[in-house]
Amino acid sequence: MENGHLGIGAAFVDALLGYLVVFIGLILLMCVVIAMGKIMVASTKKAAATVKMTAPAPAAAPAPAAPKKLAPGSAGEVKLYDTDPRDAAMIMAIVADKLGKPLNELRFKSIKEVK
């Protein structure tokens, strides 16, 4: 090292050690995140199993109710498959906006989340 300058070999070793430290840190962080994910999944499954064990037996099926009256201008019911009602409402509003039509002129039969 002359006058505060590193030679090419020393600069290469310094750069290599710097990259190595960064990647080891990233690998350790990845291991921590994976471990925490597995712990959370296990605790969620345990809690779900506990809830299933303590849930009361279902009561007898209620008598069929009278058919629901639809709101004026509505086009019937929408079947939701793996979709939150709030998300379904947002999707219907977006489709109506993109088509430039009022929501009561559109008919949605079902909404399914694609995974």
More confident residue, 38 or 107: 38
Q: How far is CA 93 from CA 22, 77, 106, 110, in A?
A: 46, 15, 10, 14
Mean pLDDT computed over 2-13 = 84
What are the boundaries of each domain within the chain? 1-57, 79-112
pLDDT at 17 over 90: yes
Contact 73, 104 (CB under 8 A): yes
Would you list the DSSP string of the chain?
A: -BTTB--HHHHHHHHHHHHHHHHHHHHHHHHHHHHHHHHHHHHHHHHHHHHHHHSPPPPPPPPPPPPPPPPTT-----EEES--HHHHHHHHHHHHHHHT--GGG----EEE---
Instruction: Give the pLDDT of residue 31.
Output: 97
> What is the model's pTM?
0.39
- Residue-wise pLDDT for 65-113, tens only, equals 655 665 555 666 778 888 888 888 888 889 889 999 887 788 888 888 8
Convert the pLDDT of each residue in 39-58 to its tens digit: 999 888 887 777 666 655 55
Per-residue confidence band for 1, with pLDDT thresholds at 50, 70 and 90: low
